Chain A
Amino acid sequence: MIIIIIIVILLLALILLYNHLVSLNIRCKNAWSQIDNQLKRRYDLIPNLIEVTKGYADYERKTLVNIINQRNKNAKMSDIAKESETVSKNVKTLLMTAENYPELKANEVFKNLQIELTGTEDKIAFARQFYNDTVQHFNTAITVFPNNILAHIMNYKEKEYFKVNENEKEVVKVKL
């Protein structure tokens, strides 16, 4: 009788643990899709930026076009992160250079694009933060005992962080 009770309790614990790990895995996937959505959104916006800045800031424009053309769609996480970083930098430079042209600065389309693109950059930064937090949670969960045994059976491996350099968030906020 006691043995049956113990087995039932163990089974219940196993089910709970399994569900816990599965839901953590799903959370990571959702967090990743947030980043992915914003990266795609940015790639959709950039052609408009290139179009509207035609005739201005030529050097920065061409550099951005080249970078976009070299885009590698099936890259590893770390490569995507690196690529995203370069695109970010170049978009920001182009936006900053474009600010020097008064006609462009007054252009309604450019103004909205600027807000949208800066917003997307922020969103990528926050989505990355959220993703990395979730991944950290997941990685801890599958390494501690006894979760690691179950994780091994479920073939869950440690996930890669979406990271280039650590203190980038602080660097962006030079204000005040």
Chain B
Amino acid sequence: MILKEVRKNKTKTFFIVSLFFVLVTLCVYFLSLIFFEDSLVAITIGLTFSIFSSFISYYNSDQIILSINGAREATREEFLQVNITLETLCIATGLPMPKLYVMESESLNAFATGRNPRHAVICVTTGLIEKLDKYEMEGVLAHELSHIKNYDILVSTIAIVMVGFVTILSDMLVRGRFYNSSNNKNDNSNSIIQLIGLIFIILSPIFANLLNLLISRNREYLADASAVEITRNKEGLISALKKIEDLSKPMENINKATESLFIADPKKSEEKDSIWSTHPSTVNRIKKLQNIN
């Protein structure tokens, strides 16, 4: 079942990367069309740009996400217990040891990122380290390890970075349009560009939202279940989820794009499963966990 999940995630990633490639090419094409007014130059710039940005996003997206969230490496000296718990779980799963990062925050949360198990990072908040005991931490880390094992991290990390990028580009397209409209108003082809730009602007947030949904929710349940399979102790994860629900404050200065990465909804909106929620409600998750065995 895991293998099927992995294949599905890799296909999704391929789909996202291709879509990203096409969108970036189109965006840059229209942008450079505004400035150069020569379609051959524009398409060359567009293609080169999207090739480069695809590669950069693919290989550095984990670092981008870590720096967006202001995380730093959790050394063995400073955070001995968490490091040991993670080592233990890696032995249990046979996965290579991911890098461990911490975020200075009082709220209780964690996420995993990276592109494959050999290049993976798990990040926890300092609040989480403080408030959870060993077995609860084991549950949370096992949950994140399952995301790594299933290649969920690949899809979500790539999607976040690429969607963010397209959003920035389409934003530039808007500005380019304004810049252009003040210069020369008599060009006919410009109206087409404006129209396409407008479509992009309207579509990109919807597109971003859809991607968020593509990568979330159901896999949280799956990761919960595999976490229990790893630790063979569902009580740990259940009480961790309860603590996260009860003690956590909404995270300040969290980047909206990275929301879906976290184990629990960072903004702590009133939870009820709807099509638009990025996370399944904690109550439902606990219910499903209690039904195991």
Q: Which residues of A contact B (CB under 8 A)?
A: 31, 34, 38, 112, 115-116, 119, 122-123, 126-127, 129-130, 169, 173, 175-176
Which residue of chain B has the shortest Cβ distance to A37 in the bound complex? B91
Q: Are B135 and A175 in contact (CB under 8 A)?
A: yes
Which residue of chain A has the shortest Cβ distance to B133 in the bound complex? A175
Which residues does chain A contribute within 8 Å of B84, judged by CB atoms? 115-116, 119, 122
Q: Which residues of B contact A (CB under 8 A)?
A: 80-81, 84-85, 87-89, 91-94, 133, 135, 232-233, 235, 239
Which residues does chain B contribute within 8 Å of A38, judged by CB atoms? 91
Interface core residue of B80, B87, B92, B239 (most chain A CB under 10 Å): B92
Q: Are B80 and A116 in contact (CB under 8 A)?
A: yes
Q: Are B235 and A175 in contact (CB under 8 A)?
A: yes
Q: Are A123 and B91 in contact (CB under 8 A)?
A: yes
Q: Known: A112-B80, A173-B233, A176-B235. Contact between A126 and B85, CB under 8 A?
A: no
Interface core residue of B84, B88, B232 (most chain A CB under 10 Å): B88
- Nearest-neighbour CB distance to chain B for A152, whole angstroms, equals 28
Which residue of chain A has the shortest Cβ distance to B233 in the bound complex? A173
Q: Known: A169-B232, A176-B235. Contact between A119 and B85, CB under 8 A?
A: yes
Which residues does chain A contribute within 8 Å of B133, judged by CB atoms? 175
Separation of A173 and B84 alpha carbons in the complex (Å):
17
Separation of A38 and B84 alpha carbons in the complex (Å):
12
Q: Are B91 and A127 in contact (CB under 8 A)?
A: yes
In the A-B complex, the 6 residue pairs with the smallest Cβ-Cβ separation, listed nearest first, are A119-B84, A126-B92, A122-B88, A176-B235, A123-B88, A126-B91
Q: Are B235 and A123 in contact (CB under 8 A)?
A: no
Which one of A31, A123, A129, A176 lies within 8 Å of B239 (CB-CB)? A176
Which residues does chain B contribute within 8 Å of A31, judged by CB atoms? 94
Q: Known: A115-B80, A176-B235. Contact between A130 and B92, CB under 8 A?
A: yes
Which residues does chain B contribute within 8 Å of A176, judged by CB atoms? 135, 235, 239
Separation of A129 and B81 alpha carbons in the complex (Å):
21
Which one of A112, A123, A129 lies within 8 Å of B87 (CB-CB)? A123
Which residue of chain A has the shortest Cβ distance to B93 in the bound complex? A130
- Nearest-neighbour CB distance to chain A for B115, whole angstroms, equals 24
Which residues does chain A contribute within 8 Å of B93, judged by CB atoms? 130
Q: Are B85 and A130 in contact (CB under 8 A)?
A: no
Which residues does chain B contribute within 8 Å of A127, judged by CB atoms? 91-92
Q: List 23 A-B contacts (CB under 8 A).
A: A34-B91, A38-B91, A115-B80, A115-B84, A116-B80, A116-B84, A119-B84, A119-B85, A119-B87, A119-B88, A122-B85, A122-B88, A123-B91, A126-B89, A126-B91, A127-B91, A127-B92, A129-B232, A130-B91, A130-B93, A130-B94, A175-B235, A176-B235
Which residues does chain B contribute within 8 Å of A115, judged by CB atoms? 80-81, 84
Q: Known: A112-B80, A115-B81, A173-B135. Contact between A126 and B235, CB under 8 A?
A: no
Separation of A34 and B232 alpha carbons in the complex (Å):
19
- Nearest-neighbour CB distance to chain B for A91, whole angstroms, equals 15
Which residues does chain A contribute within 8 Å of B239, judged by CB atoms? 176
Q: Are A129 and B92 in contact (CB under 8 A)?
A: yes
Extra 12 A-B pairs, beta carbons < 8 Å, given A34-B91, A115-B84: A115-B81, A122-B88, A123-B88, A126-B88, A126-B89, A127-B92, A129-B92, A130-B92, A130-B94, A173-B233, A175-B133, A176-B135
Separation of A115 and B76 alpha carbons in the complex (Å):
12
- Nearest-neighbour CB distance to chain B for A30, whole angstroms, equals 8
- Nearest-neighbour CB distance to chain A for B182, whole angstroms, equals 65
Which residues does chain B contribute within 8 Å of A119, judged by CB atoms? 81, 84-85, 87-88
Separation of A16 and B233 alpha carbons in the complex (Å):
37
Interface core residue of B85, B94, B235 (most chain A CB under 10 Å): B94
Separation of A172 and B92 alpha carbons in the complex (Å):
16
- Nearest-neighbour CB distance to chain B for A165, whole angstroms, equals 16
Separation of A77 and B197 alpha carbons in the complex (Å):
69
Separation of A126 and B233 alpha carbons in the complex (Å):
12
Which residues does chain B contribute within 8 Å of A116, judged by CB atoms? 80, 84
